[in-house]
Chains A and B, each alone.
Chain A
Amino acid sequence: MDFNDILQIVVSPVTAAFALAAIGLNFHYGLTGLLNMGQAGFMLIGMYGYAISVSHGLPAWAGLIIAIVGAVLFALLLGWPTLRLRGDYLAIVTIAAAEIVRIVGRSQWLKEWTGGNTGIRGKDFKDPFESLSPFPDKLIRIGPWQFHGNAWWLLTVAWILVALFALLFWRLKSSPWGRVMRGIREDEDAVRSLGKNVYSFKMQSLVIGGVIGALGGIVFAHSQAVSPDSMSRTTTFWIWTALLLGGAATVFGPVLGTCLFWALFVLIRQVGPLMLPNLDGTQVEPLALAFVGLGLILLIVFRPQGILGNRREIAING
């Protein structure tokens, strides 16, 4: 067994990308009680927005703006019909919309732009970001961690983003704005009766969490490539698991949850074949996924508030 792999995955850019997505989801669910079942869709919008723009010659900052505007529009589009209705409708619409984005992205119809099911190769859009890297272009070892220079650059930026958005969450949660959001999470009619425009607040939450998810998508794309099938329904449920594991409505819950989630995922992938020697290579990944599902069930039954959460403040079944 190789603990080094676990150490690598915990700080890797993929983990940071998921941590960002989980922080975004924490705005939705932890703070406002919105059931967004399509966070992977926001990530996809972010990575397509950035990668398509940059691979067609736009500068990186323009790609970033397009990705953010895309996520804002996506949130407005999803929220407009559903946020006036009961929470379940948002869940249904987001899960479907995220799939629509993925399926349109991988279809041959827009192949010229999205690259179809193979997606967009990393070398088509990574250059502008990687050219800013202050790290030398070779393998660098710091402590137990060994990454290529570009990966060091990416994970530095990604974890700074994670820290910034955790800080943003902390600031907003304890502000009057966050108080209205928490009120909506508890009972939106009560908040309405106190003169707050609930629809507008819910929309703000959906937009902010969605934009953070899109930034997570851009980080993910830089760590691998744009591939629509890496952002399916499963991805959304990974993000949910990570958020609930760490503790919804807490500042560090989504970050801790994501790190632990990936550490456990890698651990199971390593321990599985040792425990079950006649497991073949293709069965390891599904085994790990089955454990994720089991873990989510156990979590909701035994510790619905997650590791850092206060059970009195938030639990999945109130």
Chain B
Amino acid sequence: MAEIPSFANVEAKPGSTKPDPILIADGVMRSFGGLVAVDVKHFEAQRHSITALIGPNGAGKSTFFNLLTGFDMAQEGHGTFNGSPLKGMSSAQVARAGMVRTFQLTKALSRMTVIENMRLGAQQQSGENFARALLSPLWKAREQEITAQAEVLLERFKLIEKRDDFAGSLSGGQRKLLEMARALMSKPSMLMLDEPMAGVNPALTESLLDHIVALRDEGVTVLFVEHDMHMVRRISDWVVVMAEGRIIAEGDPHEVMKDPAVQDAYLGAHHDADLFEERS
């Protein structure tokens, strides 16, 4: 069990420094045409903790996420993960370095079975090389290790009964679980979850939250994007609030919502959201 770090000495202000950051971003800027989607001066994520990234719709959370994981390129700025620079790294390289992400719109590989989805998440399978793939003795042993590892994870995420079903036949919540389990196949040091609770029924949400906390307790650093403040308060150790591409506040999950800047950003956005819903 890894020790959960204390945030007691961390200042509750945007861009605050943490005692042991695993992920650092500096001066990250991304604009689409004239629209500045992300403009983050400084960001740090504390190792072995759960950091929530919240903010109203259009705040740039997902874009920031994409920039950190190599799915998008920043025009300016740089970052480091575990001490190594992220600049110029492809999304696949970021994943191999130990920072694995999931997606807001779940990307279960529908026409592959659950166990195949899981196996795909593993690293160091030499049978993924074309020439070696032809000779099964070269990769069979590793394949058995991977399968055993996958079955343990499926057991844990209560998907073992679905082992040989196509991933497309799973419910929305089960797909979220599968995506998270698959991300864990590579034994990442950091898990990036883009709205892990979106579209999941309440019962499964509870179990998802428990899984995330359990992962933190095992030493995985978690950064997740979420809308629901209730969820955020329940599991996160630290909250980073974004609005209009910038980090506007940071702090303890129970305190940060009291920040007037956050209330302003949120109320404004919620006001808009409600209006929009009424109209449609």
Contact = CB atoms under 8 A, between A and B. Distances in A.
A208 B168 CA distance: 29
A306 to B, nearest CB: 15
A197 interface: yes
A308 to B, nearest CB: 16
B172 interface: no
A197 B127 contact: no
Contacts of A191: 109, 120
B92 A196 contact: yes
B111 A192 contact: no
A188 B7 CA distance: 38
A177 B128 contact: yes
Nearest to B132: A177
A198 B120 CA distance: 13
Interface size band for B:
35 or more
A171 B166 contact: no
A179 B119 contact: yes
A176 B92 CA distance: 17
A194 B81 CA distance: 17
A180 interface: yes
Interface in B66-96: 69, 71, 90-93, 95-96
B136 A175 contact: yes
Given A193-B101, A195-B186, A177 B95 contact: no
A172 B134 CA distance: 6
Contacts of B91: 189, 192-193
A178 to B, nearest CB: 7
Interface in B113-128: 116, 119-121, 123, 125, 127-128
Given A175-B139, A312-B168, A189 B107 contact: yes
B130 interface: yes
Nearest to A195: B95
Nearest to B167: A186
Nearest to A174: B136
Interface residues of A, number: 30
A187 interface: yes
A76 B52 CA distance: 43
B174 to A, nearest CB: 16
Contacts of A168: 134
- Interface of chain A: mostly helix, strand, loop or mixed: helix
A193 B107 contact: yes
Nearest to B123: A195
Given A175-B139, A183-B109, A195-B92, A189 B123 contact: no
Contact of B110 (A172, A177, A186): A186
A186 B182 CA distance: 15
B261 interface: no
Nearest to A194: B121
B90 A176 contact: no
A313 B110 CA distance: 9
A204 interface: yes
Interface of B: 69, 71, 90-93, 95-96, 100-103, 107-112, 116, 119-121, 123, 125, 127-130, 132-134, 136, 139, 143, 166, 168, 179, 182-183, 185-186
30 contacts: A168-B134, A172-B130, A175-B127, A175-B134, A175-B139, A176-B125, A176-B133, A177-B132, A179-B116, A179-B120, A180-B128, A182-B111, A185-B111, A186-B111, A189-B103, A190-B107, A190-B108, A191-B109, A192-B71, A193-B71, A193-B95, A193-B100, A193-B102, A193-B107, A193-B183, A194-B121, A195-B95, A195-B123, A196-B120, A198-B92
Interface of A: 168, 171-172, 175-180, 182-183, 185-187, 189-198, 204, 208, 312-314, 318
**3 nearest A-B pairs in the assembled complex, by CB-CB distance:** A176-B127, A177-B133, A195-B95
Given A177-B132, A186-B110, A192-B91, 4 more contacts: A175-B134, A189-B103, A193-B71, A195-B186
